[in-house]
Amino acid sequence: MSSVECKWVKSRYVGEQAKRVRELAAHGIGYIILESDKTGLTAAFRIGSHKELGYAMEELSDYESERMDEKLRKIQGIPQGV
């Protein structure tokens, strides 16, 4: 079985989309909330490295990606270094 290379990206969400992303993130499904305000939220998520970024997506730096990997491991209960 082969694995898919992924990259971390972020995007801004408002309205009903922001509400749905917040619900998914609260359940540990797919998104990590980076910042939130009265108008919406910015969330990080992984996509396949071969995928092109949408117009509202921004790829995270290597450092930011490492931080997201750490947060994801905590959310999933995976010990560091595994």
pLDDT at 23 (0 to 100): 96
pTM: 0.84
pLDDT at 79 (0 to 100): 75
pLDDT at 82 (0 to 100): 60
Average pLDDT across each block of 10 residues of the chain; the chain has 82 residues. List them in order: 82 96 93 95 94 91 94 81 62
Alpha-carbon separation of residue 23 from 45, 79, 80 (angstroms): 14, 25, 26
Distance between CA atoms of 1 and 29, rounded to whole angstroms? 23
Instruction: List, as one string, the DSSP characters of 10-30.
Output: EEEE-HHHHHHHHHHHHTTSS
